[in-house]
Amino acid sequence: MSTSTAPLAFLKGHGTENDFVIVPDPDNAIDLPAALVARLCDRRAGIGGDGLLHVVRTAAHPEAHAMAGEAEWFMDYRNADGSVAEMCGNGVRVFARYLEHAGHIAAGDVAVATRSGVKHVHLAKNGDVTVSMGRAALPEDGVTVTVDGRSWPARNVNMGNPHAVAFVDDLAHAGNLFTEPPYSPAEVYPDGVNIEFVVDRGPRHVAMRVHERGAAETRSCGTGACAVAVATARRDGADPAATGTPVTYTVDVLGGTLVITERPDGEIEMTGPAVIVAEGHIDPDWIGA
């Protein structure tokens, strides 16, 4: 791949205010080194975003071509610092919305390849987007998270990417989430972790704040909301696999509300909005500076 001397096309979108720079690149022809991704996601000197959605056909990407028989499009997701991530729940909703916006798909069902497998997405005509997020893994080893002298045990939940879910009395106890809260033992998460702080709002209704690895605090985290719903269900003694009954939680994030359902077969569905807000071109001289 090479960085083009032509203006770079981009779009901007968000899902419950978890916002993304979108770079369409069907043929995987654009070079996106970590430093350039970080510059694009910079809120003062770039476009600004919690991450970047690189839109590539699965057949054109070496990490995705094995999934080409299941999904036409690959979400090559990058964190705001330029690092590669396995999956982003809000990101995949915005990714699907972009495919509709660009005329690649119509409202209805679409499969999207990600580094944590193929995700099945449904775009409803009312604007909501539902993603089948896969099954949660619940490793037994957890951590203790500490903020400003307070400590909480955090449940280990893996949604294709790692999460540590801590239940607190007040979301303010999460403190300043510009930096990652310390946790121990650190070896539980050798590649870093997304840390969620959760409070109860009512029956099967919680609210959360999150520090996302590679992005600091974000307004929303889709995989985090799923991890929170699963951890809360287990705390509440609800296990759909044991009862044969789906369990649904409403999860408030800083940027809105997501609805998470865990089915008896373990599949987790997330429903929420996804919006394209702008599109344009980036000056190639800025890219090469």
Tell how far CA 83 is from the center of its chain.
14
Query: From CA 13, how far away is CA 95, in angstroms rounded?
Result: 9
Whether the CB-CB separation of 181 and 143 falls below 8 Å is answered with no
Q: Within a domain: residue 2?
A: no
18 annotated as a binding-site residue: yes
180 and 95 within one domain:
no
Q: Within a domain: residue 133?
A: no
Phi, psi of 191 (to 5 degrees): -105, 20
212 annotated as a binding-site residue: yes
Q: What is the pLDDT of residues 96-128, one digit of tens each?
A: 999 999 999 999 999 999 999 999 999 998 889
Question: Domains in the chain: how many in total?
Answer: 2
161 annotated as a binding-site residue: yes
Active-site annotation, residues: 88, 221
The parent domain of residue 236 ranges over 143-272
156 annotated as a binding-site residue: no
**In three state form, how does the secondary structure of 184-224 look?**
ECHHHCCCCCEEEEEEEEECCEEEEEEEECCCEECCCCHHH
Q: What is the pLDDT of residues 150-202, one digit of tens each?
A: 999 999 999 989 999 999 999 999 999 999 999 999 999 999 999 999 999 99
pTM confidence score: 0.90
Q: Within a domain: residue 136?
A: no
196 and 281 within one domain:
no
- Closest listed residue to residue 72, CA positions, set 104, 24, 102: 104
194 annotated as a binding-site residue: yes
265 and 155 within one domain:
yes
